[in-house]
Chains A and B, each alone.
Chain A
Amino acid sequence: ASCVQYRLVVRDVRSLQVLQLYTCLDQIQHMEWSSDSLFILCAMYKRGIVQVWSLEQPDWHCKIDEGSAGLVASCWSPDGRHILNTTEFHLRITVWSLCTKSVSYIKYPKACQQGVAFTKDGRYMAVAERRDCKDFISIFVCSDWQLLRHFDTETQDLFGIEWAPNGCVLAAWDTCLEYKILLYSLDGRLLSTYRAYEWSLGIKSIAWSPSSQFLAVGSYDEKVRILNHVTWKKVTEFEHPATIANTKTIVYKEVEKSPSVETERLSFPPPRALASSLFSTQSKYDVSQVPVSLQYVKPAADRANPKMGIGMLAFSPDNCFLATRNDNIPNAVWIWDIQKLKLLVVLEQLCAIQSFQWDPRQPRLAVCTGSNKVYVWSPAGCVSVQVPGEGDFQIVSLSWHASGDSMVLLSKENFCVCYLEREEV
């Protein structure tokens, strides 16, 4: 599904054929599928309206109007029948039910990055709240929206919460001014607190490993600390220095290679396909010899939210690899081997990395840097694939299909689907 301005276009994944076309009242800011893929919600924050469309019955419609309360965020609940709307100024979260047309309110939600977190199995929802300058976390049962637990957190300013994949542990971390990560069990008991250091800028991002064994904490000091789930103590630290000296690390460097053009074959006017390939540069990966020094960017010290530290963390689905990006070295993706707790591969790109995502099924990492190429890494090697087409296609973000066979590459105005062939064994 994709939305263009005020229209919602639903396409088939394999053929990209337009299946449905819906028109909304206003420009769509946010669009989300329900968990059972039967409904799509389109949120228009300016108008404060959420419209829900059904795939089964194109005639069915639903409109939720928040009115003067305003709308800041909207999302589905895990059961696919409730919509949570966050009103302006984070006054409250309204839970609209599509089944019963009933409304529930959650008061005092916290205006933070990840204030609402659902467990993987969709049973429980944790909401960060703030009352009287104190942070609280409320755990709700998603089936009937009953408050299960309500407890306070020892944070200065709660920044985010995230459930572990096993649904039993909730990680809550503090603002970047304080390095503090708290771990609560499902019933609200504080299991452990972890503090690496004081005073310097703290946690930037965290990621749970798919088996809930490890919690990776990326911080502003360019280090990732791995905590284990038994003792909640640090297992190891991963450093991201600018020079890589370890001989066991493989460094793939993206290198531009200019295509060879046979001048005799050129005809005038040149066909379009040839023209685009002439001017677009191809690139390939070269294995660089260690030691390699990467491009280090020192951010301005007087600005807030500096571009330093570990901004992106992602575990591979088989729990073997961890991909990180150090914002100080924005061109490189660091891939760590979790089984050996060592740096395995560094991918050095020509441009700054915009995003990366693991294939949901295999240990394959897709990286996009804002150029017209998508880069895929797997333990067997890495490859750079150019998006064929006319003109520039600057890939801004990408998203894998759940089966791992294809991925969607998004640019500012277009998107394309990249299909990955499976090897016939």
Chain B
Amino acid sequence: MGDWKTITVPVLSSDSKNIFQHTSDKKISSPSMNSQVLRLPLPSSKSMHNFFSAFCTEENIEQSISYLNRELTTLGFPSIYAESKGKELNLISIINCMNELLVLQHKNLRAQEEVEMQHLKLGSDMDHLQNCYAKLKEQLESSKREIVGLQERDRQLQSKNRNLHQLLKNEKDEVQKLQNIISSRATQYNHDMKRKEREYNKLKERLHQLVMNKKDKKIAMEVLNYVGRADGKRGAWRTDKTEARNEEEMYKVLLSDYEQRQKQLLVENAELKKVLQQMKKEIISLLPPQKQKPKERSEDGPVLSDLEEDIGELNKENMWELSCETVREQLTNSIRKQWRMLKNHVEKLDNQVSRVHSGALNDKDVISREDHELETEKLELEIQQCKEMIKTQQQLLQQQLMSPCDDDTTLLLQDCYLLEERERLQEEWRLFQEQKKNFEKERRSFTEAAIRLGLERKAFEEDRGTWLKQQFLSMSTDYKHSENVTTPSAFLGSNLTVNVYLLGSEQDNRLVKSASQQRKPHRVSSPVSAEPWQTSPYITHNSSNAASKKPAADSKPNQWVGSDKEETE
């Protein structure tokens, strides 16, 4: 046991020595103050070995063991003895105790380290704070010095100011004094001057007396002959009348001058009044109708109305020509009021404009602005839509105009167009066919009618011939003029033409109808064809002639044929 102890203890001691060394090293490196506080009264490394050996020697092993046991038990460790009262040592407990002691030692070291760290930190904080404090102190001192300097300057300036004030006062006093001096001197001079003048006057008087007393013959005027007065009048004596007249004349002169001036002033006055009236009217016209703001209106309303009435009265009666005080005052007051109103109005407008520029909101402004903006947006949208539409349409047009690459589509398109045309043509063809049929019908009817007519004509001719013979025989003595050629033809023509006209009218109607269905060139021919029909009744008026019957009848089918021909063309 003892051997064991000796073996283990040195190991322990070396470890602990190392540890102690470490800690001591640590302590040496730490700042002096801290180290002083914390430095345990540890002996040097050499002495530590002695110390350890000194504690436990071969003689007092048991004492040291018991001492250790006591210490450990007081610290709360289990006893290192195996059993109570036995001198046998419990190795396990000893090792446990040692282990726990080591652990404790480690903990303590760590705690020590931590404390030392904190200590260092606090130290550095302290330093920092001290520096700050030193700096602030410096700043405070410098600012204090500055304040002192500024105060000094202020004091100097104030004193300067006071000095200047004083100087100014002195100067003013001097000026006043000088003025007083001048005035006093002036009065003195005046007094002296007056005295001298009096002396002088006395001398003059004296001289005058002397001169008058001398009665110089020299003081005379030599004139060869009297000169007539400038205006040709004779000289007049000075009497009171003349005095009065002179006064009168003088006053007349003055009065005329004043009258002239007054006239000028009146004219000027009248002109100015006119100008004022015009200005007032213009101002009234400029001002906006005051129905918008009822508040202000209530104030100015009755006043305005009164003024307006008065002004109206004034204008009516032309009282502005008078220059009485009240009229003048009224006029000027009214103008002033109107001008003020106009000024207010202009100011309001200016404010509005400035507000609009600055962008501040006002109820009215916002509404108008919003409306304005909405409208502009709408318009813009519309414009955009229109533009888009135009674009699309243009595109479509371009597509249509330019031959697209697709053949099928072109063919289709062409086919469409062709179809349309074909349909149209077909319709026309149908119409044409119908008309043709109609014409055929008409032709047949006409030919039948012509045949009938021919037969009738023959009969008529025979009748006519017999009648004419009778007539001729009866009236051979009466008529000598040979109008036979014309009259029979005329007569014939008229009868025939009646029928013909009827037929012709029918045919005309048909022709016209057909013509309207067809195109224009056909139409032109129909009136042409109608005319010959119509002209013939006018020509053939009086009596019909068998001779003309034939040519008429011949001409008719010719005409018919012609008309048919024309139609077919």
Binding site for B on A (CB under 8 A): 35-36, 39, 59-69, 79-81, 89-92, 96-103, 123-124, 130, 132-133, 141, 143-144, 146, 148, 156-157, 166-168, 177, 185-187, 199, 230
Please state if B204 and A67 are interface contacts (CB–CB under 8 Å).
no
Enumerate chain B residues within 8 angstroms of A141, measured Cβ to Cβ.
Answer: 246, 249-250
The 6 closest A-B pairs by CB, nearest first: A67-B218, A67-B216, A67-B219, A133-B194, A168-B257, A98-B227
Least Cβ distance of B163 to chain A in Å? 29
What CA separation (Å) do A60 and B265 show in the bound complex?
52
In B184-234, the 8 Å CB interface with A consists of 186, 190, 193-194, 197-198, 201, 204, 207-208, 211, 214, 216, 218-231
Please state if A100 and B198 are interface contacts (CB–CB under 8 Å).
no
Please state if B253 and A62 are interface contacts (CB–CB under 8 Å).
no
Please state if A146 and B226 are interface contacts (CB–CB under 8 Å).
no
Does B236 lie at the interface of the complex (its beta carbon under 8 Å from any beta carbon of A)?
yes
Supposing A99-B229, A144-B238, A185-B254 touch, asked if A68 and B211 sit within 8 A by C-beta, the answer is: yes
Enumerate chain A residues within 8 angstroms of B222, measured Cβ to Cβ.
Answer: 61-65
What CA separation (Å) do A96 and B182 show in the bound complex?
46
Supposing A168-B254, A177-B186, A187-B251 touch, asked if A79 and B211 sit within 8 A by C-beta, the answer is: no
Does B423 lie at the interface of the complex (its beta carbon under 8 Å from any beta carbon of A)?
no
Supposing A187-B254, A199-B182 touch, asked if A65 and B224 sit within 8 A by C-beta, the answer is: no
Enumerate chain B residues within 8 angstroms of A156, measured Cβ to Cβ.
Answer: 190
Enumerate chain A residues within 8 angstroms of B219, measured Cβ to Cβ.
Answer: 65-69
Nearest residue in B to A49 (C-beta to C-beta)?
A: B218
Nearest residue in A to B246 (C-beta to C-beta)?
A: A141
Does B385 lie at the interface of the complex (its beta carbon under 8 Å from any beta carbon of A)?
no
Does B247 lie at the interface of the complex (its beta carbon under 8 Å from any beta carbon of A)?
yes
What are 18 of the A-B contact pairs (CB < 8 Å)? A62-B221, A64-B222, A67-B216, A68-B218, A79-B230, A79-B231, A90-B204, A91-B208, A91-B211, A100-B226, A123-B249, A133-B193, A133-B197, A144-B242, A148-B250, A168-B253, A186-B253, A199-B179
The residue from A36, A98, A123, A167 contacting B223, defined by CB atoms under 8 A apart: A98
Please state if A99 and B226 are interface contacts (CB–CB under 8 Å).
yes
Does B521 lie at the interface of the complex (its beta carbon under 8 Å from any beta carbon of A)?
no
Enumerate chain B residues within 8 angstroms of A146, measured Cβ to Cβ.
Answer: 238, 242-243, 246
Does B235 lie at the interface of the complex (its beta carbon under 8 Å from any beta carbon of A)?
yes
Please state if A148 and B246 are interface contacts (CB–CB under 8 Å).
yes
What CA separation (Å) do A65 and B216 show in the bound complex?
10
Enumerate chain B residues within 8 angstroms of A80, measured Cβ to Cβ.
Answer: 230
In addition to A132-B198, A167-B253, A168-B254, 14 A-B residue pairs with Cβ atoms within 8 Å of each other are: A67-B216, A68-B218, A69-B211, A80-B230, A91-B207, A91-B208, A101-B223, A101-B226, A123-B253, A133-B193, A133-B194, A148-B250, A168-B257, A187-B254
Least Cβ distance of A67 to chain B in Å? 4
What CA separation (Å) do A158 and B207 show in the bound complex?
24
Least Cβ distance of A289 to chain B in Å? 40
Nearest residue in B to A39 (C-beta to C-beta)?
A: B227
Please state if A99 and B257 are interface contacts (CB–CB under 8 Å).
no
Enumerate chain A residues within 8 angstroms of B208, measured Cβ to Cβ.
Answer: 91-92
In B451-494, the 8 Å CB interface with A consists of none
Nearest residue in B to A65 (C-beta to C-beta)?
A: B218
What CA separation (Å) do A62 and B226 show in the bound complex?
10
Least Cβ distance of B225 to chain A in Å? 7
Supposing A68-B214, A148-B246, A148-B247 touch, asked if A186 and B221 sit within 8 A by C-beta, the answer is: no
Least Cβ distance of A286 to chain B in Å? 43
